[in-house]
A and B are shown apart, each in its own frame.
Chain A
Amino acid sequence: MPHLEPAQVIEQFASFLQDDVRAEIDDEFVEGQVGSMSSTMRYLATQLRQQRAVTRRQRAALLEALEAVERDCEESAVTDAAADARERIEHASEADGDDLEPVLVSTCNDVLDTINAELEGDAANEARKPLYDFLRVRVEGQLEMLGRDTA
């Protein structure tokens, strides 16, 4: 259906709330609620625009991390977990961010759990390192969706 881009509509509603509606409210509590509503809508608009690209970036980063774990780690329980995770991600739909993101979260948790259970000290640190690169990509993507300028 949509003739209008959802993010644009939400963004303009947010501007209307912030610039016009708030000025007409004389109750401090309600004005605060409308301010939070406007701010939330701006974040939602950015999220709508960027979520798919950000999820794809996370997918690429996690696959790269898992390949590094499989290649460099000598503990078979860990490499098996990484291989299983990679397979699950590759089978998950790349097109739909809503379906893909839980798979990324779940597989990353599984591999980190295995590392933390099976390895200690430097070996654990080495195995975790590529996954922390993914955690960084993930949190930076979340901040980008909230409007952080990464250019």
Chain B
Amino acid sequence: MTLEVDDITGELEPYLSGRLADGDVTVTDLERHTEGWSRQTMSFTTTWMADGDERSERLVARVDPGQDEERPFDIRNDIQTEFETMRSVSEADIDVPVPDPYWFEDDQSVLGGPFFLVSHRPGTAPVTWNPRDRNSLYDSWDRDGKPLPNHFVDVIANIHELDADDVPCLEARDPQTYVDETLDLQRRSFEEMAIVDEPAVNEIIDWLETNKPEVPETTLVHGDLRIGNMLLHEESVSAVLDWEMSTIGDPMFDVAYSSLKYFAGKLVDPIERPNLVGAVADREWFYDEYEKRTGRTVDRDRLRYWRVFGALRMMNGGIGGAYRYHTGESDDVRSAWFQYIVPGLIEDMLDLIEADRT
């Protein structure tokens, strides 16, 4: 369901009046953000009177209109868990900027699905497939003192300070069970949804089955951690967004996933600076700095495993989109387009496994 701007404003004003403030709340400048798929994100300005003064605050609502739909192989947590995860991070004594979490609402009559409200944070999320944004990130890496690359690695290291006890809404799992279950889900997803039974992908899955890593510890894992899921403002990370795939797992997953070439802007053509993680930090510098900040060793075998796995999971997202379009389950144009991420990811995965297989 696509929510219309006028409808949203009309629903939000009475809902927020008496909740956000004692009196009437007006909603203006509502903007729908297009980056979401089934979860829709919108920002708006709220205004109310308090003690004779006009108060104003910009808020963000994230809605899941498809919460009750069946979504096979969907690895996202429900939207309440996404909110609770963000709240746990916000309340923890660590430097990981997230929007201030306000509240979760499960009454679907307001916005057509359960939703949560958070504060609006300054900054923009870079789109690394856009050359302009990519070049801006390259400039950040070349800048003296490297403030943004340093904050990028700080944020990732700090997320991994939290464990299952700090984020009670996420299920704690045995590390090896985590590896087995995540791979099994992705294998079944490919088997069920692939329109073409790509031999390269079968080889990649076979390699993943054969090379499962020993995972010595689990921490909070963001699960979709990349520069494009961060708001950047004045050479720092002003917010980490999209906590819907968070889990308790191997912290190396986030390190590996954030360093996929795909998230540095590679789609079809090779990128200009493939050694920059997220187009913003030299790969070896990034791994070294993560080690310095956390005291962990970035195990290169585990790292490689999770890079292959992360690329496979991303590729399955593209294949799943094409499958839903193919079966008529979705008529979203982006679902049809999403197939085009597949070959570039297969190329990257072959680069990572070929030496072991030939």
From B346, which residue of chain A is reached at the shortest CB distance?
A139
Would B354 and A105 count as touching, CB distance under 8 A? no
A108 to B350, CA, bound (A): 16
User: Which B residues between 178 and 211 are near A, CB-CB below 8 angstroms?
Assistant: 196-200, 202-203, 206
Would B202 and A143 count as touching, CB distance under 8 A? no
Chain A residues within 8 Å of B23, by CB: none
Tell me what chain B mostly uses at the interface: helix, strand, loop, or mixed: helix
Would A135 and B340 count as touching, CB distance under 8 A? no
A113 to B203, CA, bound (A): 9
Indicate whether A40 sits within 8 Å of B32 (C-beta atoms), given known contacts A29-B2, A138-B200, A148-B268: no
Give the B interface residue count (CB, 8 A).
30
Chain A residues within 8 Å of B206, by CB: 116
Chain A binder among B164-172, B245-253, B328-336: B328-336
Would A135 and B350 count as touching, CB distance under 8 A? yes
| Cβ distance A101 to chain B, nearest Cβ, rounded Å | 8
Chain A residues within 8 Å of B354, by CB: 132
Would A28 and B32 count as touching, CB distance under 8 A? yes
Q: Is B34 an interface residue (CB 8 A)?
A: yes
Would A139 and B333 count as touching, CB distance under 8 A? no
Chain A residues within 8 Å of B32, by CB: 28-29
From A132, which residue of chain B is reached at the shortest CB distance?
B358
From B342, which residue of chain A is reached at the shortest CB distance?
A142
Would A128 and B199 count as touching, CB distance under 8 A? no
Chain B binder among A30-38, A75-83, A87-95: A30-38
As a 0/1 sequence over residues 30 to 69 of chain A, the CB contacts with chain B under 8 angstroms (1 = contact) are 0111101101100100000000000000000000000000
Would A149 and B34 count as touching, CB distance under 8 A? no
A142 to B344, CA, bound (A): 9
Would A143 and B343 count as touching, CB distance under 8 A? yes
Would B350 and A139 count as touching, CB distance under 8 A? yes
Would A112 and B347 count as touching, CB distance under 8 A? no
Indicate whether A125 sits within 8 Å of B333 (C-beta atoms), given known contacts A29-B2, A136-B350: no
User: Which B residues between 125 and 170 are near A, CB-CB below 8 angstroms?
Assistant: none
Q: With contacts defined as CB atoms under 8 Å apart, how many contacts are there between chain A and chain B in the complex?
A: 80
User: Which B residues between 317 and 358 are near A, CB-CB below 8 angstroms?
Assistant: 332-334, 336-337, 340, 342-344, 346-347, 350, 354, 357-358
User: Which A residues between 127 and 151 are near B, CB-CB below 8 angstroms?
Assistant: 128-129, 131-132, 135-136, 138-140, 142-143, 146-149
Would B343 and A128 count as touching, CB distance under 8 A? no
Q: Is A109 an interface residue (CB 8 A)?
A: yes
A129 to B34, CA, bound (A): 44
One of A31, A139, A149 near B200 (C-beta < 8 A): A139
From B335, which residue of chain A is reached at the shortest CB distance?
A36
Of the candidates A116, A125, A142, A147, the one having the most CB atoms from chain B within 10 angstroms of its own CB is: A142
A131 to B202, CA, bound (A): 13
Q: A28-B33, A139-B346 are in contact. List 16 more A-B contacts (CB 8 A).
A: A28-B32, A29-B32, A36-B336, A39-B337, A40-B337, A105-B196, A109-B199, A112-B203, A126-B358, A128-B203, A129-B358, A139-B200, A143-B268, A143-B347, A146-B268, A149-B269
Q: List 8 tightest A-B contacts by C-beta distance, closest first.
A: A142-B343, A129-B358, A36-B333, A108-B199, A32-B34, A36-B337, A146-B268, A33-B333
A positions within 8 Å CB-CB of B: 28-29, 31-34, 36-37, 39-40, 43, 105-106, 108-109, 112-113, 116, 125-126, 128-129, 131-132, 135-136, 138-140, 142-143, 146-149
CB-defined A-B contacts under 8 Å, sample of 7: A29-B32, A31-B34, A128-B358, A142-B342, A143-B343, A147-B268, A148-B268
